[in-house]
Amino acid sequence: MNNLISNIIKILSQFRLPSELRKAATFGLGITSFAGKTMETADFHSACSSVAPRISIPNTTVYFSDFVPTGSIIELRDNDPSCDRPSQFVLENICRIFMYTSTSTRSGLNLEVWLPRNWTGQFLSTGNGGLSGCIQYEDMAYASALGIATVGANNGHNGTSGKAFLQNPEVVEDYVYRSAHTGVVVGKAITKEFYGKSHTKSYYLGCSTGGRQGLKSVQDFPEDFDGVIAGAPANDFSGLLSWSGRHFGILGPPGSPSFITEEHWTNLIHTDIIEQCDTVDGVADGVIEDPNLCDYKPERLICSSGTNDRSNCLSGEQVKAIRTIFSPLYNPEGELWFPRQHPGSEDAVTRAMMYSGKPFPYTADWFRYTLYNDPNFDVTKLNRSDWAYSQAVNPFNIDTWKGDLSRFKSRNGKLITWHGQSDGLISPANSERYYDHVSHTMNIPPSELDDFYRFFRISGLGHCRGGDGAWAIGQTLRNIEKIQLDKEFLDPDRNVLTSMIRWVEEGKAPDVLLGRKYVNDSMALGIQTSRRHCRYPLRNHYHGNGNSSLPESWTCR
């Protein structure tokens, strides 16, 4: 192993790479020169400029192949404004290839492949979010900076709206699975054409819809990837959007008796939840380590009789609404449709999307433009019959709930799922539920499931990124200021992506994921808190003494 590392560092020294990326080789990233030879920047630039005419892939038109030097900012002027990605900083010399692939006479994908000069031989596909057709450029920049050839696709439509689904099942099919899989096929072909040889290992990185896409690959296209990282997966999609849609029915619009203002969610309810449940784990730090242990009782917030000032209390009807939100959704037969919302998840994203007094936008678009093909469908009146219809239709098996992962396991594939325990858009309990479903379906206990599938619960993490806890596990570059891809950030004990690479290529599986909370979420200001996040079904336990901000003060058992 030492000789291998020495050789890798020797090869790296031939490139003009940031020194910290050279150090990354010691963590099993396997960085080598591509095609077995060194290529200087000028040669790489020339190779990139000339590759587009050589690419011949069925139903695919390549529009450009541009050399983008380290430190450049790509202006994404044609990106839909709703994607909220006007530009992207590039961390390594890349060849950026943009193309369109037709998937039918009525549908097609925009694809980008980023090919780094310091190619490791590895390939990675990124995912998407929500109902969107937004390429995750930050994830492409992240992976390509590590020397990984990276592909991203737009799910067959542009922007975050679901309007493109209207009367067009081909676009729906792209969204459900075809875009992600096609991107892998095309991306691998272009990688081979450019570097002159096939990739060595293939990886996936995604969250939310991206997490569901990762599980879809594991279930239906097990040969696409050697390692899949699926964060906060939006599987059991029909149940999820029914659950999301019911929040409007519970709270109503602003001014209705059960509606709760943002100020009450922030200053009253969340504060009360933290007061009741924060110390269940033995530490008062503003983070509920395991919300499953939080039996929140909102009744003490009910206003006293005769109270005129209701700024610090709630009506009985409002408290009933809170109780319903923090309870599971069942069908008329008493079967679980979707798990409960976790107490402690009342962050700004949740308040804006779930508790705003408007129907959840993804639920509205899905029912209008996909299930009913009626833009005028009144989503404010969704009920159990609509939810049941959604599950019955399940277009192209978007639910992504298959429990038999034998084909992926048999080819030695590795799967990591993780979920923020303060996620208010997708109940974290759903990821526990899916893990248990796989265990039951395959008839193997967690001790054996660990051989290829590990699930980590990340306390204090909201939806995909951000939160009050040690949420940064190397899953994204977004929401962190002053990013430094240094030795510490890339350490596989601290980084879910490099941890997966080490598991696949060296056989060392992660027992924990060490998360960090940076001061003001800025790496430049240093680490505020570190915590080891346990693999399910283990729980984090505070020792009872010592600095709770240090990982050594906690044990998984």
Distance CA 124, CA 414 (A): 14
What does the pLDDT look like over 395-447, one tens digit per residue?
A: 999 999 999 999 999 999 999 999 999 999 999 999 999 999 999 999 999 99
Q: pLDDT class for 480, splitting at 50, 70, 90?
A: low
Q: pLDDT class for 478, splitting at 50, 70, 90?
A: confident
**Which of 480, 397, 493, 409 shows the shortest CA–CA distance to 450?**
409
Q: Is residue 412 within 8 Å of 405, Cβ to Cβ?
A: no
What does the pLDDT look like over 497-543, one tens digit per residue?
A: 999 999 999 999 999 999 999 999 988 889 999 999 999 999 999 99
| CA distance readout (Å), 139 to 124, 150, 486 | 10, 9, 17
Cβ-based neighbour number of residue 407 at 10 Å: 14
Residue 22 has pLDDT above 60, yes or no: no
Say what the pLDDT of residue 481 is. Answer: 58
Cβ-based neighbour number of residue 545 at 10 Å: 8
* Domain range summary for the chain, segments of one domain joined by +: 241-397
423 as an active site residue: the answer is yes
**Which of 146, 150, 123 shows the shortest CA–CA distance to 31?**
146
pTM of the model: 0.92
Of 208, 242, 345, 427, the catalytic one is 208
386 as an active site residue: the answer is no
Residue 541 carries which side chain, given as an amino acid letter? H
Residue 6 has pLDDT above 60, yes or no: no
What does the pLDDT look like over 286-331, one tens digit per residue?
A: 999 999 999 999 999 999 998 888 889 999 999 999 999 999 999 8
Q: pLDDT class for 479, splitting at 50, 70, 90?
A: low
| CA distance readout (Å), 408 to 355, 413, 542 | 39, 5, 36
**What phi and psi values does residue 60 have, to the nearest 5 degrees?**
-125, 130
What does the pLDDT look like over 335-394, one tens digit per residue?
A: 999 999 999 999 999 999 999 999 999 999 999 999 999 999 999 999 999 999 999 999
Q: What mean pLDDT do residues 468-485 have?
A: 81
Say what the pLDDT of residue 332 is. Answer: 87
Residue 228 has pLDDT above 50, yes or no: yes
347 as an active site residue: the answer is no
Of 290, 423, 468, 491, the catalytic one is 423
Residue 235 has pLDDT above 60, yes or no: yes
